[in-house]
Structure 1
Amino acid sequence: MKTWFHSWRAAIRIARRDAWRSKGRSALVLAMIALPILGVSALDLTYRSSQLSPAEKLERTIGAADARFSDAQVNGVPIFQDPAGEMHTTVKDYEDEPWPSGSTDVTKAIPAGSTVLTDGSGSAKLTTAHGLLGAEVRELKASDPIARGIMTLLEGRFPEKNDEVMATSHFLESSGLSIGATLSARNFDRPYRIVGSYELPDSLTTDQVNALPGAFLAPYAKAVEKAGLPAPDLSVSYLVRKSGGFTWNTVKEINTRGVAVVSRAVLLDPPAESEVPLNQKEGFRGYETSSEASAADLASLATVVGLAMLEICLLAGPAFAVGARRSRRQLGLVGANGGARSHIRAIVLSGGLVIGVAAAVTGIVLALVLTLVLEPVLEDAMGQRFGAFDIRPLELLGIALLAVLTGLLAAVVPAFTASRQTVLASLTGRRGVRRSSRVLPVIGLVALLIGGAVALFGSMVSQQVVLVAAGSALAELGVVAMTPALVGLFGRTGRWLPLSPRLALRDAVRNRGRTAPAVAAVLAAVAGTVAVSTYMASREAQNRAGYEATLPYGVAAAFVQEEGGRDAPAVRDAVQRNFPVDVRADVARISVGKPGCAPWGGEGAGCGRYEVVVPPANECPLYASVPGGGDPAEKYTPEQRRKLVTEDWRCKESASSGMYVSDGGLLIGDASLLKVLGVDDPATEKALADGRIVAFNRTLVDGKGTIGIKQITDIAAADKASQEGRPAPGKVSTLPAYLVPGEKKSYGLQALMTPATAKAAGLSTAPLGLYVSTERLPDSEQRQKLDSDLAKLGGNVELHLEEGFVNEYGIVLLALAVFAGLVTIGAAGIATGLAQADAEADLKTLAAVGAPPRVRRTLSGFQCGVVAAMGVILGSAAGLLPAVGLRLTEERDELRYYEQNLAEGWSGDLTPPDVPIVIPWETLAGLLVAVPLGAALLAALVTRSRGALARRAAT
Structure 2
Amino acid sequence: MNRWYHSWVAAVRIARRDAWRFKGRSALVLAMIALPILGVSAVDLTLRSAELSTGQQMDRDLGAADARMSDPGMGGVPIHQAPDGISTAPAKDFGENDPWPEGAGDVPAAFPAGARTLKDASGSGKLRTGHGLLNTVIHEIDATDPMTRGMMTLDRGRFPEKAGEIAATTHFLESGGLEIGSTVAARGLATEYRIVGSYELPDSLKADEVLAPPGTFLAPLDKALKADDLPGTETSATYLVSVGGDGFTWNMVQKANSQGVAVVSRAVALDPPADSEVPLYQKDGWGGEYGQSAASDAAALAVVATVVGLAMLEICLLAGPAFAVGARRSARQLGLVGANGGDRRHIRAIVLSGGLVIGVAAAVVGTALGLLLTFALRPLLEDYMGKRFGSFDIRPLELLGIGALAVLTGLLAAIVPAITSSRQSVLASLTGRRGVRRSSRVLPVIGLIAAGLGITITLYGASASDNVTVVAGGSALAELGIVALTPALVGLFGRLGRWLPLSPRLALRDAVRNRGRTAPAVAAVLAAVAGTVAVATYTASDDVQQRAEYSARLPYGVVSVMNGEGGGRDVPDIRAAVQKHFPVDERADVARVAVGNANCLPYSDAKGCGRYEIFTPEKNRCALWTQDRPGVEQLTPAERRKLSKDWRCEEDGQYAEYDVLVADEKLLSVLAVDDPAAVDALKNGKAVSFDRRNIENGKIGIKLITDTDKADLMAQKGKDAPGEIKSFPVHQVAKSAEGYGVKVVLPAGAAKEAGLITAPVGAYFSTDALPDSTQQQKLEAALDTLGTDGGLYVEKGYTSDNSIELLALAVFAGLVTIGAAGIATGLAQTDAEPDLKTLAAVGAPPRVRRTLSGFQCGVVAAMGVALGSAAGVLPAIGLRLTEERQQLKWYEEAVADGMGGMSEVPYVPIVVPWETLAALLVAVPVGAALLAALVTRSRTAVARRAAG
**TM-score (normalised: structure 2):** 0.89
Q: Is the 8 A contact 1:80 1:252 kept in 2?
A: yes
Correspondence 1:71 to 2:71: yes
> Partner of 1:641 in structure 2?
640
**Aligned position for 1:394:** 397
Give unpaired runs (5+ residues) of structure 2: none
**Aligned residue in 2 for 1:246:** 248
Mapped partners of 1:276, 1:842: distance in 2 = 79
Matched, 1:656 2:670: no
Q: Structure 1 residues 800, 504: CA separation in 2 closer, same or farther (over 3 Å shift)?
A: same
Asked if 2 retains the 8 angstrom alpha-carbon contact of 1:230 and 1:597, the reply is no
- 2:624 aligned counterpart, secondary structure: coil
Amino acid at match of 1:656: D
- The CA distance in 2 between the partners of 1:60 and 1:566, in whole Å, is 48
The alignment status of 1:151 with 2:155, answered yes or no, reads no
In 1, are the aligned partners of 2:217 and 2:230 still within 8 Å (CA)? no
Q: Is the contact between residue 557 and residue 766 of structure 2 (CA under 8 Å) also seen in structure 1?
A: yes
Shift in alpha-carbon separation, 1:222–1:250, aligned structure 2, 3 A: closer
Distance 1:5 1:894 in 2: 62
Quote how far apart the aligned CAs of 1:856 are: 3.9
How far is 1:228 from its partner? 13
Aligned twin of 2:718: 726
* Deviates further, 265-274 or 771-780: 771-780
CA spacing shift, 1:174–1:95, aligned 2, 3 Å? same
Distance 1:530 1:384 in 2: 33
The residue identity in structure 2 corresponding to 1:775 is D
Deviates more, 1:49-58 or 1:349-358: 349-358
Question: In structure 1, what residue type is equivalent to 2:634?
Answer: K
The AA in structure 1 aligned to 2:379 is P
Deviations 1:508-539 (A, max 9, x none): 33332222212222222232233233333433
CA contact (8 A) 1:132 1:792 kept: no
Aligned match of 2:585: 582
Report if the CA contact (8 A) 1:582-1:772 is conserved. yes
Q: Give secondary structure in 2 for the equivalent of 1:705.
A: strand
Residue-by-residue CA offset, 1:273-297 (whole Å, 9 max, x unaligned): 2222222333334732111111112
CA-to-aligned-CA distance 1:881-931 (integer Å, 9 cap, x gap): 212211221221222222222222223665433433344445445444444
Q: Are 1:834 and 2:827 matched, yes or no?
A: yes
- In structure 2, the residue corresponding to 1:374 is in which secondary structure? helix
Deviation per CA, 1:583-633: give whole Å up to 9, x if none.
Answer: 12344556789999986769x9999976555454433111221279xxx86
694-703 vs 360-369, which moves further: 694-703
CA 1:730–1:62 in structure 2 vs 1: closer, same or farther (change >3 Å)? farther
Q: Percent identity?
A: 63
User: Matched residues in 2 for 1:917 and 1:910: separation?
Assistant: 21
Q: Where do residues 417-816 of structure 1 align in structure 2 (5 Å cutoff)?
A: 417-495=420-498, 497=500, 499-543=502-546, 549-558=552-561, 572=575, 575-587=578-590, 612=614, 614-626=616-628, 634-646=633-645, 648-652=646-650, 655-658=651-654, 660-662=655-657, 665-679=659-673, 684-685=678-679, 688=682, 694-701=688-695, 705-710=700-705, 726=718, 734=726, 736=728, 738-743=730-735, 744-753=737-746, 769-778=762-771, 801-802=794-795, 809-810=802-803, 812-816=805-809
Moved more, 207-216 or 389-398: 207-216
Alignment of 1:139 onto 2:140: yes
Question: Residues 675 and 734 of structure 2 are in contact (CA less than 8 Å); yes or no, is this contact kept in structure 1?
Answer: no
1:404 paired with 2:407, answer: yes
1:282-301 alignment runs, 5 A limit: 282-285=284-287, 287-301=290-304
Answer with 927-936 or 270-279: which moved more: 927-936
Deviation at 1:582, TM superposition (A): 0.5
SS at match of 1:160: coil
Structure 2 CA distance for partners of 1:463 and 1:215, relative to 1, 3 Å = same
Aligned partner of 2:353 in structure 1 is: 350
Q: Take 1:453 and 1:702, find their aligned partners in 2: how far apart are those partners?
A: 57
- Report how far residue 269 of structure 1 moved: 0.6
Amino acid at match of 2:643: L
Residues 89-125 of structure 1: per-residue CA shift (max 9 Å, x gap): 1222341112111112122222222222222223333
Q: Which amino acid in structure 2 is aligned with residue 347 of structure 1?
A: I
Amino acid at match of 2:647: W
Cα deviation for residue 662 of structure 1 reads: 0.8
Shift of 1:191: 4.1
- What do residues 839-898 of structure 1 show as CA deviations (whole Å, max 9, x unaligned)? 333344445555555544444444334333333333233223212211221221222222
Q: 1:753 to 1:816 in 2, by over 3 A?
A: same
> In 2 relative to 1, CA 526–666 (structure 1 residues): closer, same or farther, beyond 3 Å?
same
Q: Which amino acid aligns with 1:638?
A: P
Corresponding position of 1:365: 368
| Aligned-pair CA distance for 1:261 | 0.9
Q: Which residue of 2 aligns with 1:382?
A: 385
Aligned match of 1:203? 204
**Higher mean C-alpha displacement, 741-750 vs 928-937:** 928-937
Aligned to 1:124: 125
Contact 2:675/2:733, CA 8 A, preserved across alignment: no
The aligned residue for residue 96 of structure 1 is 97
Aligned partners of 2:79 and 2:258 also within 8 Å:
yes
| 2:27 counterpart residue number | 27
Task: Name 1:899's counterpart in structure 2.
Answer: 892
Change in 2 beyond 3 A, CA 1:634/1:304 = farther
Q: Does 1:45 align with 2:14?
A: no
Letter in 2 for 1:535: Y
Secondary structure at the counterpart of residue 58 of structure 1: helix
Of 25-34 and 807-816, more deviation after overlay is shown by 807-816
Distance verdict in 2 for CA 1:733–1:109, change over 3 Å: farther
* Structure 1 residue 749 displacement after superposition: 1.8
Classify the secondary structure of the residue corresponding to 1:188: coil
Q: Partner amino acid for 1:58?
A: M
Q: 1:726 to 1:231 in 2, by over 3 A?
A: farther
- Please identify, of 184-193 and 44-53, the stretch whose mean Cα deviation from structure 2 is larger: 184-193
| Aligned mates of 1:415, 1:324 — CA distance in 2 | 8
Paired residues of 1:733 and 1:761 also in contact (CA < 8 A): no
CA–CA separation in structure 2 for the residues paired with 1:428 and 1:788: 86
Name the CA shift for 1:211/1:760 in 2 (closer, same or farther; >3 Å).
Answer: farther
- Aligned amino acid, residue 434 of structure 2: R
SS of equivalent residue, structure 2 residue 147: helix
> How many angstroms apart in 1 are the aligned matches of 2:798 and 2:127?
37
Q: What is aligned with 1:324? A: 327
TM-aligned CA distance change 1:593 to 1:52, over 3 Å: farther
SS of the residue aligned with 2:427?
Answer: helix
Normalising to structure 1: TM-score of the pair?
Answer: 0.88
Asked if the contact 2:612–2:703 (Cα under 8 Å) also holds between the matched residues in 1, the reply is no
Letter in 2 for 1:408: L
Query: More deviation in 843-852 or 154-163?
Result: 843-852
CA contact (8 A) 1:676 1:772 kept: yes
Structure 1 residues 687-736: Cα deviation after superposition (integer angstroms, max 9, x where no partner): 55677654322334566631225467999999x89xx9636978667463
Kept in 2: contact 1:592–1:601 (CA 8 A): no
**Any conservation in 1 of the 2:555–2:671 contact (CA below 8 Å)?**
yes
Which one is further off, 563-572 or 796-805? 563-572
